[in-house]
Amino acid sequence: MKLTYYGHSCVLVETSGRRLIIDPFLTGNPTAPVAASEVRADYVLLTHGHNDHVGDAFEIAKRCDAVVIAPFELATYAGWQGCKTHPMHIGGAHAFDFGTVKLTPALHGSGYEVPGEQRLIYMGMPAGLLLTSEGRTVYHAGDTALFGDMRLIGKRNSIDLAFLPIGDNYTMGPDDALTAAEWLRAARVVPVHYNTFPLIKQDGQAFAGRLKAAGIEGIPLAPGESIEL
């Protein structure tokens, strides 16, 4: 399994002969190392309906004939935009041809700002993702605050790699993300959702140092860098 960080919270996963892109916010993302038009994907996974996570999902899905996997309300809206979809919801899991996806809770919002309009569309509950493939388990927390059930997620799953937001203001900051990493018992952690804009500026290397002191491997990937499991 190969995972490539595309900045903000976007991750490309290559596994079992399939390409999955999570929260493809590329257009308008100053840290993105690729353009949306360059992305090839078989599946588009979305954690919630905020524009900095939906991003280019609909364009990529339609161009690549990819399936959008998302919470029900968001998947329904994607279907209305002409995308193939697989709706899910929190607590539910499904086996796909690349592996299994389970949606976990996340404490956040999920409203989509319609481009060119002063209008928000409710997109259901936000979620995190547990992806199991090739004998590995990856947790993408989406946008979230720290919450106690992360202990349960860590207890019930052997997490090889966790993508955790550290930007603060809109999500967990480094202090809470460190606690989350400990509760999740993650072997390795990649910080996400930081340094895209000045308001969420953080020091990924410093966070990795704090993880190391807690016995956890921290890997602050630069946009475009990859890790293999």
Residues 107, 82: Cα–Cα separation, whole Å: 29
Residues 181, 162: Cα–Cα separation, whole Å: 8
Structural domain spans, the chain? 2-220
The DSSP letter of residue 212 is H
Residues 216, 228: Cα–Cα separation, whole Å: 17
- Interior/surface letters 203-214, b for 16+ CB within 10 angstroms, e for the rest: ebeebbebbeee
> Is the four-CA dihedral 73, 78, 81, 85 of positive or negative sign?
negative
How crowded is residue 229: how many other Cβ atoms within 10 Å of its Cβ? Answer: 17
Residuewise pLDDT in 10s, the chain (229 residues): 999 999 999 999 999 999 999 999 999 999 999 999 999 999 999 999 999 999 999 999 999 999 999 999 999 999 999 999 999 999 999 999 999 999 999 999 999 999 899 999 999 999 999 999 999 999 999 999 999 999 999 999 999 999 999 999 999 999 999 999 999 999 999 999 999 999 999 999 999 999 999 999 999 999 999 999 9
Taking CA atoms, 161 is separated from 10, 38, 64, 85, in Å, by: 15, 26, 27, 26
Residues 43, 86: Cα–Cα separation, whole Å: 10
What CATH topology corresponds to 2-220?
A: Metallo-beta-lactamase; Chain A (3.60.15)
Structure-token match 């060119």, residue found: 116
